[in-house]
Structure 1
Amino acid sequence: MIWVDADACPRPIREILYRAARRTHIPMTLVANSPLRLPHNTPVAFKLVKAGADVADSVILEHMAPGDLVITADIPLAAEVIAHGGLALDPNGELYSEENVRTRLSLRNFISQLREGGVYTGGPAAPTAKNREAFARQLDIWLSRHNTD
């Protein structure tokens, strides 16, 4: 099963996921606090949740199973997914691990402190072609190991 933290998932990454769902028929659910337009010919479920901090994260964690793949740029969610036996993949194509998620949490917390101190740190960059290729490659690796078709 693939879970997508869809509120911050870039459209090009969602398009890659839709194509994979059509090709493999792997169960996939997008979770977001605002409506998303899904292609009509895609076997993808959508769960609309109430707006609020970490509501989508809680739904994903409540329903995911060990071995599930979660697509997220949310580092705390990725850490929880790993702790629950799942795999987490960043929309830029980086597979989170126990080691790198700790490092990324520390960096995230540091940047958060800078922002609280009034330092402008900018937002995440849009995925590049190289990021999209890395994402598609990691997704294909997971699909080849988990697709039962």
Structure 2
Amino acid sequence: MTVLYIDADACPVKEEAERVATRHRVRMLLVSNGGIRPSRNPLVEIVVVPEGPDAADMWIAERAGPGDVVVTQDIPLAARCVEGGARVLKPNGEALDARNVGQALAVRDLMTDLRAADPFRQGGGKAFSKADRSRFLDALEREVRAGLRQG
């Protein structure tokens, strides 16, 4: 049975994910350290993990597997979920899989090193757009359907 895991801290597409989960009658878990508004939707559950570095990531990675879909911006979490057989999407609709997650990790590490070497280097990310939201909805629809076929 497919489960939709949302790395909910700072996730800009929770509402869109809930719409797709509802359409397909898929259980959706919003995982965070707290501060998430409850949903009246019986398919949506809020999982509050203990405070601590990467607690939500570890919780998701330990449970997500084949047929499941994970939404996260966290590349190390994405890599662990891909390794476990889950389908992974970034909130902008970009799919991460065995073919590209290694490159995404390498770019993340490079950017971390560049920021550490230049303390004045800040930001660099582009704003989340309506086009990103639309791409996410299309991609999540595809991934949930594929997960349901797989699971």
- Please confirm whether the aligned pair reaches a TM-score higher than 0.5, indicating the same fold: yes
Asked if the contact 1:8/1:73 (under 8 Å) is kept, the reply is no
Distance in 2 (CA, whole Å) between partners of 1:123 and 1:74 is 16
Report the TM-score when normalising by structure 1.
Answer: 0.89
TM-align CA RMSD:
1.7
Using the aligned pairs only, state the percent identity: 36
Q: What amino acid does structure 1 have at the position aligned with 2:137? A: A
The answer to whether the 8 Å contact 1:75/1:105 transfers is yes
Query: Does structure 2 conserve the Cα–Cα contact (< 8 Å) formed by 1:18 and 1:42?
Result: no
- What is the CA-CA distance between 1:38 and the residue it aligns to? 2.8
**Kindly tell me: are residues 48 and 123 of structure 1, through their superposed partners in 2, closer, same or farther at Cα, counting changes over 3 Å?**
farther
Q: How does 1:1-149 map to 2 (within 5 A)?
A: 1-10=3-12, 13-41=13-41, 43-117=43-117, 118-122=119-123, 124-147=125-148
- Supply the distance in 2 between the matched residues of 1:94 and 1:34 (Cα, whole angstroms): 26
**Within 1, Cα distance between the matches of 2:146 and 2:111?**
36
Change (3 A) 1:59 1:123: farther
- Where structure 1 has 5 or more consecutive residues not aligned to the other structure, the ranges are none
Query: Runs of 4 or more off by more than 4 Å in structure 1?
Result: none
TM-score, normalised on structure 2?
A: 0.88
CA shift at 1:84, angstroms? 0.7
Relative contact order, higher structure (CA 8 A, sep 6+): 2
User: For the Cα contact (< 8 Å) 2:8–2:30, is it kept in 1?
Assistant: yes
Q: CA deviation at 1:147?
A: 4.3
8 Å Cα contact 1:34-1:48 kept in structure 2: yes
What secondary structure, in the 3-state scheme, does the structure 1 residue paired with 2:35 have?
Answer: coil
Unaligned ranges ≥5, structure 2: none
Secondary structure at 2:100 match in 1: helix
Residue 27 of structure 1 and its aligned partner are, at CA, apart by 0.9
Residue 9 of structure 1 aligns to a residue whose secondary structure is: coil
Q: More displaced, 138-147 or 100-109?
A: 138-147
Residues in 1 aligned to 2:140 and 2:41: alpha-carbon distance in whole angstroms: 20
Q: Secondary structure at the match of 2:131?
A: helix
Deviations 1:94-138 (A, max 9, x none): 000223211111111111112212141306434211111111011
Q: Note if contact 2:28-2:45 (Cα within 8 Å) is conserved in structure 1.
A: yes
1:9 counterpart letter in structure 2: C
- The answer (yes or no) to whether the contact 1:21–1:42 under 8 Å persists in 2 is no
Change (3 A) 1:99 1:146: closer
Asked if the contact 1:73–1:91 (Cα under 8 Å) also holds between the matched residues in 2, the reply is yes
